[in-house]
């Protein structure tokens, strides 16, 4: 009798382990797909007297993106970039003006605004950072 119960328990445990490994494998496949999937965003910066713009341009690693920079950009400034996987979209305009600076930024993906910010002041940074649409 005990042998029958033990065999049944072992069968259930093995089946549960196989099912667990199967769903674990599916999760790994989903993560791999998300890491390799690419997406495009468009950065837009407006305002006055913007000294520089720094942004994630797609290089580097997802957790350590390479930051690209533009000095003395002509406004309005737009740039479309291709990012990969979980890499966040990010753009940061910087302005310093004794008369007061104004900056605004926007990140769009497939026509949808992911993030939008604006700021005014003597020294202004109006950065925008958006979560990767691949992770959502």
Instruction: Please write the tens of the pLDDT for every residue from 87-135.
Output: 999 999 988 887 777 889 999 999 999 999 988 876 666 689 999 998 7
pTM of the predicted model as reported, rounded to 2 decimal places: 0.74
**C-alpha distances in Å from residue 59, one per residue of 14, 68, 118:** 44, 9, 26
- pLDDT of 28 above 70: no
> Which of the two residues, 24 and 2, has the higher pLDDT score?
24
Q: What integer best gives the mean pLDDT of the chain? A: 80
* Bridge partners for 78 per DSSP: 44
CB count within 10 Å of CB 107 equals: 23
Distance of CA 107 to the CA centre of its chain: 11
> Which of the two residues, 49 and 52, has the higher pLDDT score?
52
Residue in 110, 108, 99, 106 with CA at minimum distance from that of residue 127: 106
Q: Which two tokens stand for residue 122?
A: 């003597």
CB count within 10 Å of CB 90 equals: 21
């Amino acid at each position: 009798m005990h042998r029958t119960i033990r065999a049944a328990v072992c069968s259930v445990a093995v089946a549960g382990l196989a099912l667990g490994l199967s769903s674990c494998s599916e999760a790994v496949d989903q993560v791999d797909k998300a890491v390799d999937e690419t997406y495009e965003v468009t950065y837009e910066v407006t305002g006055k007297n913007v000294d520089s713009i720094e942004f994630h341009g797609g290089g580097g690693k997802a957790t350590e993106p390479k930051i690209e920079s533009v000095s003395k950009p002509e406004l309005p400034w737009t740039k479309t970039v291709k990012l990969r996987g979980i890499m966040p979209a990010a753009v940061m305009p910087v302005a310093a003006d004794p008369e007061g600076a104004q900056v605004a930024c926007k990140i769009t993906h497939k026509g949808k605004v992911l993030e939008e910010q604006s700021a005014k002041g003597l020294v202004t940074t109006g950065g925008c950072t958006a979560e990767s649409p691949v992770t959502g």
